């Protein structure tokens, strides 16, 4: 979240930022409440100070009447101080709700627009869009012909949006995971597998809403736990309440996790098949940096995403994400959108965001500089290395052949044991 003092001192900029992001937050109400909180807090502290002074004078009283009067005065002062403290607590609750709804500020170069239609294409990948001399199928049709995914069985077991990967698709998933993890290992990321559950305060700290009508989170009833929507959540939580030495920064983590999302309201051909599902695996990058290093780290994470998809020889474009399409914690975000022949358009496959100190303030993740007093808030960044379901989609559709088979990207051959997926009657 933003610093309270910053909000008050930059009220118009914060209000306009909310407008640009399409977030309806009463920033003026926040200012009124914060001023009221400060005044009542000051009054309560003053009453407590006076009560302490009165208490010190009780022993000095010369008569019992004077002593009793001082006791009564002190009692009244503490009572009123307690009432004010309770009023501050009520104000604090409303303040906190508004505070958490205020998004991060936005990089001045991010395009302004209400949704992803305003995203700005800034570059293309090394691989050109393929030219097919036949009508390409989408991945759902390919999966059916090649017996790679069973959506119907997934729906019988867990409901719509779940699926079974089968046969070569299983090996492709494992190959994509190994390909990404090995590349990040060579870049000195700390490799992790993460918990599938996280406490709700960790979700809230990373900017995810575990409750409410608009949540995309599956929560566990009668607990303070929820299923994670991305490894960003547990990776960010690793340093919750922790102070690290500046000399150890940056800290780069790679997390392999399952991801669970309700995907409420998702529908349409663009969401068909694997593109928008309730469960998938993902390799996620996460970094903690010094404030002055976060912008360059964002560029580095974006480069890693491009290297991964250039290696897979998947056509893609990079877009600078518009204000209305940014998540609350993101200061700036870049997406990779892979070409998807089945829909004849690009679709998002990765994103990388600089969240500055927005998440760190919620998580109380800090660093110290040797020889200096006090601590400072870290900057946090995240980036998708590979979301397996969408990676599979992009491979299946871009590597399909006229005979109905699917070639395997060369970089995955060391992990698959086969170079082509053929229709079963050809094997």
Q: Where are the alpha helices (DSSP H) in 151-238?
A: 151-158, 168-186, 200-205, 232-237
Query: Is 397:142 a contact under the CB 8 Å cutoff?
Result: yes
Spatial contact of 398 and 341, defined as CB atoms under 8 Å apart: yes
Cα angle, residue 48 at apex, residues 42 and 53 outer, rounded to 5°: 125
Q: What is the DSSP letter of 387?
A: E
| Cα separation, 210 vs 207, whole angstroms | 9
Q: Which of 177, 294, 390, 397 is catalytic?
A: 390
**343 CA to centre of own chain:** 27
Catalytic residue among 351, 366, 389, 397: 351
From 37, 276, 362, 366, active-site residue:
276
Q: Mapping DSSP to helix (H, G, I), strand (E, B) and coil, where does residue 222 land?
A: coil
Whether 348 is catalytic is yes
Contact 11, 31 (CB under 8 A): yes
User: In the annotation, is 64 catalytic?
Assistant: no
The residue annotated as part of the active site, out of 21, 37, 261, 362, is: 261
Q: Is 46 one of the catalytic residues?
A: no
Catalytic residue among 173, 337, 348, 397: 348
Angle at alpha carbon of residue 93, lines to 327 and 80, rounded to 5°: 160
Work out whether strand 120-124 and strand 316-320 pair parallel, antiparallel, or are unpaired. Answer: antiparallel
Pairing of strands 243-245, 366-368: parallel
Identify whether 351 is a catalytic site residue. Answer: yes
Which DSSP symbol is given to 218?
P
CA dist., res. 33 & res. 80, Å (int): 20
Catalytic residues: 261, 276, 348, 351, 390
């Amino acid at each position: 979240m933003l610093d309270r003092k910053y909000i008050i001192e930059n009220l118009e900029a914060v209000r306009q930022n909310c407008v640009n992001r399409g977030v309806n937050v009463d920033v003026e109400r926040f200012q009124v409440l914060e001023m009221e909180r400060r005044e009542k807090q000051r009054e309560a502290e003053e009453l407590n100070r006076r009560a302490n002074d009165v208490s010190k004078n009780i022993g000095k009283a010369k008569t019992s009447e004077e002593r009793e009067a001082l006791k009564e005065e002190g009692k009244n002062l503490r009572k009123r101080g307690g009432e004010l403290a309770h009023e501050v607590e009520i104000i604090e609750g409303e303040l906190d709700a508004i505070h958490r709804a205020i998004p991060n500020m936005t990089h001045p170069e991010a395009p302004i627009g209400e949704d992803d239609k305003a995203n700005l294409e800034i570059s293309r990948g090394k691989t050109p869009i393929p030219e097919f001399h036949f009508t390409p199928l989408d991945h759902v049709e390919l999966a059916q012909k090649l017996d790679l995914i069973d959506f119907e069985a997934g729906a019988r077991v867990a409901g719509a949006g779940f699926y079974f990967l089968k046969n070569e698709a299983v090996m492709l998933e494992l190959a994509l995971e190994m390909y990404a993890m090995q590349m990040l290992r060579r870049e000195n990321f700390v490799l992790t597998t993460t918990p599938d559950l996280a406490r709700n305060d960790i979700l809230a700290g990373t900017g995810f809403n575990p409750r409410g009508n608009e949540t995309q989170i599956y929560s566990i009833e009668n607990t303070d736990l929820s299923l994670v929507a991305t490894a960003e959540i547990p990776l960010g939580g690793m340093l919750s309440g922790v102070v690290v030495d500046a000399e150890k920064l940056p800290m780069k983590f790679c997390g392999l996790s399952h991801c669970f999302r309700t995907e409420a309201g998702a529908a349409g051909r663009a969401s068909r098949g694997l593109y928008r599902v309730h469960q998938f695996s993902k390799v996620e990058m996460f970094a903690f940096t010094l404030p002055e290093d976060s912008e360059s780290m964002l560029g580095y994470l974006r480069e890693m995403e491009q290297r991964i998809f250039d290696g897979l020889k998947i056509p893609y474009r990079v877009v600078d994400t518009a204000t209305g399409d940014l998540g609350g914690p993101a200061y700036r975000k870049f997406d990779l959108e892979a070409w998807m022949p089945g829909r004849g358009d690009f679709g998002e496959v990765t994103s990388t965001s600089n969240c500055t100190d927005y998440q760190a303030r919620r998580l109380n993740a800090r660093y110290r500089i040797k020889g200096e007093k006090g601590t400072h808030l870290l900057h946090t960044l995240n980036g998708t290395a590979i979301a397996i379901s969408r990676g599979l989609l992009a491979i299946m559709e871009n590597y399909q052949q006229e005979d109905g088979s699917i070639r395997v990207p060369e970089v995955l051959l060391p992990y698959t044991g086969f170079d082509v997926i053929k229709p079963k009657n050809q094997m």
